[in-house]
Structure 1
Amino acid sequence: QLQISSPEHKVFGTPDVDEPVSDTCCSGCGAMLHCTAIEAPGYLPSEKYKALLQEGNLAKATCQRCHLLTHHHKALNLQVSRDQYKAVVQQIRPHRALVLLIVDLLDLPDSIVPDLPEAGGDQQARGRPRQQDRPAARRLARLPAADQAAARPVLAKTGYGIENLITSLQRSWKYKGDVYLVGSANAGKSTLFNTLLESDYCKSKASDVIHKATISPWPGTTLNLLKFPIINPTPHRMFKRQERLAEASRQTESELSQEELRRLRHFSKQGYLVGRIGRTFRSNSGSRPGVFEFDPDSLAFGGNEDEETTTGPSKAPVEFTHNELKDAHWLYDTPGIMKEKDILSLLNDQEVRSVVPTHAIVPRTFVLKPSMSLFVGALARIDFLEGNKSCWFSVVASSHVPVHITSLEKADSIYEKHAGHILLGVPMGGSERMKEFPALVPQEFRLEGRGYLEAAADIKLSSAGWVAVTAVEGDQVSLRVHGPEAAGFSLRTPPLLPHIVSLKGERIRKSAAYKPMKPQGLLDTGLSAKGQIDREASWQQSWL
Structure 2
Amino acid sequence: MISEETVRQYIDEGLRCIGCGALIQTENKNEIGYTPMSALLKSFENDEVFCQRCFRLRHYNEIQPVNLTDDDFRHLLEQIADTDSLVVYVMDVFDFSGSLIPGLHRFVGNNDVLLVGNKVDVLPRSLKRSKIKDWMRQQANIAGLRPVDVALTSGKNGEDIEKMLDLIAKYRKNRSVYVVGVTNVGKSTLINQIIKAVTGDRKDVITTSRFPGTTLDRIEIPLDDNSNIIDTPGIIHQDQMAHYLSAKDLKYVSPQKEIKPKTFQLNEGQTLFMGALARFDYIQGPRTGITAYFENNLLIHRTKLANADAFYEKHAGDLLAPPAAENLDMLPPLQRYEFKTTEKTDIVIDGLGWLTVPANTIVAGWAPKGVSVLTRRAMI
TM-score, structure 2 normalization? 0.81
Structure number with bigger Rg: 1
Question: After superposition, what is the alpha-carbon deviation per residue over 1:26-52, rounded to whole angstroms, capped at 9, x for unaligned?
Answer: 1111112224444432233x3xx2452
Can you list the C-alpha shifts for 1:455-501, whole angstroms capped at 9, x where unaligned?
x1111110112111135xxxx31112221121111122x1122xxxx
Judge which range, 354-363 or 185-194, deviates more.
354-363
Q: Is the 8 A contact 1:86 1:337 kept in 2?
A: yes
Structure with greater proportional strand content: 2
Residue type at the aligned position of 1:406: T
Please tell me the residue identity of whatever aligns with 2:337: Q
Please report how far the alpha carbon of residue 434 of structure 1 lies from its aligned counterpart in structure 2 after TM superposition.
Answer: 2.3
> How many angstroms apart in 2 are the aligned matches of 1:404 and 1:137?
31
1:360-371 matches, cutoff 5 A = 360-371=258-269
Return the alpha-carbon distance in structure 2 between the equivalents of residues 54 and 153 of structure 1: 39
- AA of the residue aligned to 1:171: K
Per the TM alignment, residue 57 of structure 1 is displaced from its structure 2 partner at its CA by 5.0
Structure-2 change in CA distance of 1:138 and 1:101 (3 Å): closer
| Structure with greater contact order relative to length (CA < 8 Å, sep ≥ 6) | 1
Q: Is the 8 A contact 1:380 1:482 kept in 2?
A: yes
The structure-2 alpha-carbon separation of the partners of 1:225 and 1:457, relative to structure 1 and needing over 3 Å to count, comes to: same
Secondary structure of 1:349's counterpart equals coil
How many Å separate the matches in 2 of 1:51 and 1:184? 31
Matches within 5 A, 1:462-481: 462-470=350-358, 476-481=360-365
Kept in 2: contact 1:21–1:36 (CA 8 A): no
Quick check: 1:24–1:59 contact (8 Å CA) kept in 2?
no
How far apart, CA to CA, are the structure 2 residues paired with 1:465 and 1:33? 38
Question: Is 1:213 the counterpart of 2:206 in the alignment?
Answer: yes
2:341 is equivalent to residue 457 of structure 1: no
Structure 2 residue corresponding to 1:445, chosen from 312, 320, 339: 339
Contact 1:28 1:211 in 2 (8 A): no
1:433 equivalent in structure 2 = 327
Aligned counterpart, 2:368: 484
Which 5+ residue runs of structure 1 have no aligned equivalent?
A: 1-19, 128-135, 144-149, 232-326, 451-455, 498-544
**Aligned residue among 311, 317, 323 for 1:414:** 311
- 1:119-134 mapped onto 2 (5 Å cutoff): 119-121=107-109, 123-124=110-111
Preserved contact between residue 27 and residue 59 of structure 1 (Cα < 8 Å):
no
Equivalent-residue separation in structure 2 for 1:217 and 1:56 (angstroms): 27
Paired amino acid for 1:222: T
Aligned length: 344
d(CA) in 1 for partners of 2:280, 2:137:
23
Instruction: Supply the RMSD in Å over aligned alpha carbons.
Output: 3.0
Q: Deviations over 1:67-112 (max 9, x none)?
A: 2322222222334201111122223233211101111122223412
Whichever residue aligns with residue 75 of structure 1, its letter is I
Counterpart CA distance in 2 for 1:213 and 1:344 is 21
Is the 1:66–1:214 contact (alpha carbons within 8 Å) kept by the matching residues of 2?
yes
1:496 aligns with 2:379: yes
Residues 141 and 496, structure 1, Cα contact 8 Å, conserved in 2? no
**After TM superposition, where is structure 1 displaced by more than 6 Å over at least 4 residues in a row?**
none
Residue type of the alignment partner of 2:211 = W
Deviation per residue, 1:157-184 (Å, 9 max, x gap): 2222211122222233342x10011111
Q: Distance in 2 between matches of 1:187 and 1:142?
A: 20
State how 1:124-273 maps to structure 2 within 5 Å.
124=111, 139-140=138-139, 151-175=150-174, 177-200=175-198, 204=199, 207=201, 212-231=205-224
After superposition, the Cα gap between the structure-2 partners of 1:39 and 1:352, relative to the gap in structure 1 and judged at 3 Å, is farther
Determine what percentage of the aligned residue pairs are the same residue. Answer: 30
Distance 1:484 1:477, change over 3 A: same
Distance 1:97 1:350 in 2: 39
1:26 aligned residue: 17
Which residue of 2 is the match for residue 70 of structure 1? 58
Distance 1:222 1:55 in 2: 19
Query: Alpha-carbon deviations, 1:411-453, whole Å to 9, x = none?
Result: 12221122122x222112x1x43234211111211113x5xxx
Contact kept in structure 2, 1:375 and 1:382, CA below 8 Å = yes
